[in-house]
């Protein structure tokens, strides 16, 4: 079987992570933390996640012409990711994320986007040859919205399945949403997208149906330790996940999205694809760091 072809359009950051007993309150210093510096960024994480699970991945991104950017490109090549459409920006530095993680695996993140904020619709158009060959296009919201809109449009026209991970959360118009095949919000993000408070399964269904009425074909709402809520073609069900003791949830959502893209590109059904993605997200939460936490196919199969 040929490897699935996935184009990821998104951000690349260097993550600086401090893990300590608890996250400080404003003005407070907490001593005794462990420091890790690792490659990150939602787009980069999802690209690496898909590549480690066996996909042929092309990454469309923008980094600074600096040490972080050059190191990122070298790392992508080590992961067998096609870097032809990663531009080095001469004016902006590479993106950086500062991440604090507590003993329960919860985190807070502050991002300086740098060159990610310069990724343009024209950068997407330059990658059209790769997009036209792809089975799945995977996009997030750490890049400018006009670029997201162009990625959805070009991906839809190519005949590829378009997955949009609407994170960090922001309002999206109906024209953009109508080009999305699979939307993967968490509960906070779906509340922002729909204005619908999500307190129980009935609220989740109403929120997902609101998005479907605006053009989204399938909604997969991630529920953390409860798994995922899948709504597609009138069917709605919770797809459970495995129980773990979380270490760091930083890249769990990115592992989920990368794995979902791989499974759908391989031709697996929606429910099976979501189950596979749940497993990848759970695995990533058992390790510290973003890209260091992402599993290979062998690791995921033995984890199951």
- The phi and psi torsions of 82 (rounded to 5 degrees) equal -70, 125
SS3 142: coil
Looking at 15, 200, 254, 298, which residue is catalytic? 254
Known catalytic membership, residue 65: no
Q: Where are the alpha helices (DSSP H) in 9-134?
A: 42-52, 67-78, 121-126, 128-133
CA angle (253, 254, 257) in 5-degree steps: 90
| Euclidean distance between CA atoms 43 and 40, whole angstroms | 8
**Whether the Cβ atoms of residue 72 and residue 63 lie closer than 8 Å to each other:** yes
Q: How many other CB atoms sit within 10 Å of the CB of residue 128?
A: 15
Peptide bond into 45 cis (omega under 30): no
SS3 279: helix
CA distances from residue 98 to 40, 71, 91, 109, 294 in whole angstroms, order as listed: 11, 18, 22, 6, 19
Q: What residues act catalytically?
A: 254
């Amino acid at each position: 079987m040929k490897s699935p072809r996935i184009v990821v359009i998104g951000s690349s950051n260097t993550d600086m992570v401090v893990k300590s007993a608890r996250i400080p309150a404003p003005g407070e210093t907490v001593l005794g933390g462990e420091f890790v510096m690792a490659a990150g960024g939602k787009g980069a994480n999802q690209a690496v996640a898909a590549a480690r699970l066996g996909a042929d991945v092309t990454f469309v991104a923008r980094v600074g012409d600096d040490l972080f950017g050059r190191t990122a490109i070298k790392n992508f090549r080590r992961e067998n990711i096609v870097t032809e459409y990663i531009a080095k920006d001469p004016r902006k530095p590479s993106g950086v994320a500062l991440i604090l993680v507590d003993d329960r695996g919860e985190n807070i993140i502050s991002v300086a986007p740098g060159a990610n904020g310069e990724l343009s619709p024209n950068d997407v158009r330059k990658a059209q040859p790769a997009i036209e060959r792809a089975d799945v296009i995977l996009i997030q919201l750490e890049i400018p919205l006009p670029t997201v809109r162009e990625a959805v449009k070009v991906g839809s026209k190519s005949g590829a399945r378009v997955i949009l991970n609407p994170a960090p959360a922001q309002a999206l118009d109906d024209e953009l949403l109508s080009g999305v095949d699979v939307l993967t919000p968490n509960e906070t993000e779906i509340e922002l997208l729909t204005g619908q408070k999500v307190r129980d399964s009935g609220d989740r269904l109403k929120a997902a149906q609101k998005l479907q009425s605006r053009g989204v074909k399938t909604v997969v709402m991630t529920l953390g330790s409860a798994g995922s809520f899948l709504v597609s073609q009138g069917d709605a069900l919770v797809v459970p996940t495995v129980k773990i003791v979380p270490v760091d949830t930083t890249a769990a959502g990115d592992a989920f999205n990368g794995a979902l893209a791989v499974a759908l590109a391989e031709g697996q059904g929606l429910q099976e694809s979501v189950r596979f993605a749940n497993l990848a997200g759970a695995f990533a939460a058992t390790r510290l760091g973003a890209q260091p936490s992402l599993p290979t196919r062998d690791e995921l199969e033995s984890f199951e």
